[in-house]
Structure 1
Amino acid sequence: MINTATNGNYANVNGLKMYYEVYGEGKPLLLLPGAVSGIGTAFGNLIPLLSTDRQLIALEFQGYGHTADIPERPLSYEQFTDDVIELLHVLNIRQIDIFGYSTGAGVALQVAMRKPALASKLILASVIYKSSGRHPALIELEKQLTAEAMKGTLYEAEYLSTAPRPQDWSKHLAKVTTFNQKVQDWSADDIRNIKAPALIIAGDADIVQPGHVVELYKLLGGGSIGELSMPDSQLAILPGTMHTALTKKTNLLMAMIPDFLSTQ
């Protein structure tokens, strides 16, 4: 467990100077943000609530927020996962609960597939494990990942106030667009082999299709009749919730996350 009195920290991982923040005390919970999100836009509403009885370790991926980009290194789930695994090694953490949102949820799933002993429990919010699970209209939404379209948003404000090179905002968005266009087709068998219980969360107006969420829930052991055999994994569809609002639905999330994490 980390013991630090300061929130802002850097660790050297795989040639990257990765930024992370630590809050609270107790059993650690790793927070992994989504695309074009730093810690604040992804988890700012939840950190004060979750840190009352847990130690939170929130990081920012390559090129996001305080973590500088490596221009010649593409963004990928594989690289993000390598960086997370190495950060946990640097911090001497051998097992941890992981809460991933959007891109971060995909990374959490990858960590559990590649290093099963690392992941104790998984919270997967708006997760996609194969490209067919993306909402068809997401193509149109991703066309708005330009500096002009993002002007005045919280994402722009966060990047400009935290990035080592705020002038690279347009370059960063272009790199994220390239990352988003990569095909995902992760092995169903690899997901079935995950032993960590998972709480899978999506909005009913999310970028991930509801059927895809249910498929993942079943791959992770869900779908049985509870009276006969209660599954370790859980599924939640938040009503009236779009993708960018999901982690701001604190009342709904705090009604389920602490119970899930505390269940043996």
Structure 2
Amino acid sequence: MSTYETAKDQYIQVKAVNYAYRSFGATNGIPLVLNIHFRGSLDHWDPNFINPIAATRPIILIDNSGVGRSSGEIPASYAGWAQNIVDVIDALNIKQVDVFGFSMGGFVAQLIALNAPHLVRKLILAGTGPSAGPGVQNGDPEFLEVLAGATTEEEHHDGFLRTFYSPSEKKQAVGELWWKRMTSARPNRADYVGPEGTQRQIAAAVKWLGGEFREDGSYDRLDQIKIPVFIANGSNDLLIPTENSWVLWKRLVNSEAHLHIFPDSGHGFLNEYADMFSKQIIAFLDA
């Protein structure tokens, strides 16, 4: 069985874009498609989180257009992000998937479930929230700026540890362990999304969080999701406030929605609690 560390890069051309993807893990079962955070690519997952899940089912990672090893341009809206993922899944001739979205990837995951309901069996939303609407809180822009402005490896390191983990010495040490795992898992890693692509990602986030383009969002449509959903977050998320996970859960009125908040943790809870969270995901998907 291939793992996150050993999975080979593969490519598929869809609508003139050459998409990079990796397929690994168990050979039987419904694949789980994972969507990454702001500026991230195929090379920015924690093996301690992803490999236990891969041992139980196929895993598919996809670089969206303009991200990592994929050609093309970064979409200007999350509806465009979601459509790209659906197009790749269709091109791979996969009829049904489970979908995971972390942070910005959670925005994408919601729209995959809403815009391609025939494709998605179960949905997992981690460290994310709905688009603009009553009760939704925007994070402090200072923390987004820390991640958006990083250019060197040291700046990325400092930015992610500051925004993903609690500031205590103990939690920062946990963050250091995650950083070492993540950055050493694979050779020849792709860099984070560059300055131009980052600005396009920010423009999509402004549309999502600003409320001006509500028809491109999820808040007003969440009652259309009727599949099981698992929502999780840290207790003090600085980037996408934890309260938004609660709003998301309450808006999923027609779904069997579960909500779990991990204690004394922030946006990086899925890496900090990798063992526990991966087990919860397996139990949710197997139920």
| Band the TM-score falls in, shorter-chain normalisation | 0.7 to 0.9
Q: What is residue 142 of structure 1 aligned with on the other side?
A: 144
Q: What is residue 129 of structure 2 aligned with on the other side?
A: 128
Q: Following the alignment from structure 1 to structure 2, what is the Cα–Cα distance between the partners of residues 209 and 68?
A: 32
1:197 aligns with one of 228, 245, 249 = 228
Q: What is residue 172 of structure 2 aligned with on the other side?
A: none
1:216 aligns with one of 240, 244, 248 = 248
Q: Following the alignment from structure 1 to structure 2, what is the Cα–Cα distance between the partners of residues 153 and 247?
A: 17
Post-superposition Cα deviations, 1:53-90, rounded to whole Å, max 9, x if no partner, equal: 111011122232222342xx643201111101101110
Aligned residues: 245
1:235 aligns with 2:259: yes
Q: Following the alignment from structure 1 to structure 2, what is the Cα–Cα distance between the partners of residues 115 and 190?
A: 13
1:58 aligns with one of 44, 58, 61 = 61
Q: Following the alignment from structure 2 to structure 1, what is the Cα–Cα distance between the partners of residues 284 and 204?
A: 32
Q: What is residue 99 of structure 1 aligned with on the other side?
A: 100
Counterparts in 2 of 1:196 and 1:242: CA distance versus 1, 3 Å:
same
Q: What is residue 45 of structure 1 aligned with on the other side?
A: 48
Counterparts in 2 of 1:86 and 1:178: CA distance versus 1, 3 Å:
same
TM-score, length basis structure 1? 0.81
Q: Following the alignment from structure 2 to structure 1, what is the Cα–Cα distance between the partners of residues 58 and 192?
A: 34
Post-superposition Cα deviations, 1:100-140, rounded to whole Å, max 9, x if no partner, equal: 11121111110111111111000111222224634441x11
- Report if the CA contact (8 A) 1:33-1:43 is conserved: no
- Report if the CA contact (8 A) 2:20-2:63 is conserved: yes
Q: Following the alignment from structure 1 to structure 2, what is the Cα–Cα distance between the partners of residues 141 and 34?
A: 14
SS of alignment partner, residue 22 of structure 1: strand
Quote the offset at 1:211 in angstroms.
Answer: 3.0
Counterparts in 2 of 1:168 and 1:125: CA distance versus 1, 3 Å:
closer
Residue type of the partner of 1:65? G
Q: Determine what percentage of the aligned residue pairs are the same residue.
A: 24
Counterparts in 2 of 1:243 and 1:92: CA distance versus 1, 3 Å:
same
SS of alignment partner, residue 12 of structure 1: strand
TM-score, length basis structure 2? 0.75
Please identify which structure carries the higher helix content: 2
- Report if the CA contact (8 A) 1:122-1:196 is conserved: yes
2:273 aligns with one of 249, 252, 255 = 249
- Report if the CA contact (8 A) 1:192-1:221 is conserved: yes
Q: What is residue 33 of structure 1 aligned with on the other side?
A: 36
Q: Following the alignment from structure 2 to structure 1, what is the Cα–Cα distance between the partners of residues 234 and 192?
A: 33
Quote the offset at 1:235 in angstroms.
Answer: 0.5
Q: Following the alignment from structure 1 to structure 2, what is the Cα–Cα distance between the partners of residues 162 and 173?
A: 18
The unaligned stretches of length 5 or more in structure 1 are 223-230
Q: Following the alignment from structure 2 to structure 1, what is the Cα–Cα distance between the partners of residues 283 and 144?
A: 35
Q: Following the alignment from structure 1 to structure 2, what is the Cα–Cα distance between the partners of residues 168 and 34?
A: 11
The unaligned stretches of length 5 or more in structure 2 are 1-5, 161-181
- Report if the CA contact (8 A) 1:238-1:252 is conserved: no
Q: What is residue 200 of structure 2 aligned with on the other side?
A: 175
Q: Following the alignment from structure 1 to structure 2, what is the Cα–Cα distance between the partners of residues 194 and 107?
A: 14
Please identify which structure carries the higher strand content: 1
- Report if the CA contact (8 A) 1:202-1:208 is conserved: no
- Report if the CA contact (8 A) 2:122-2:229 is conserved: yes
Counterparts in 2 of 1:42 and 1:181: CA distance versus 1, 3 Å:
farther
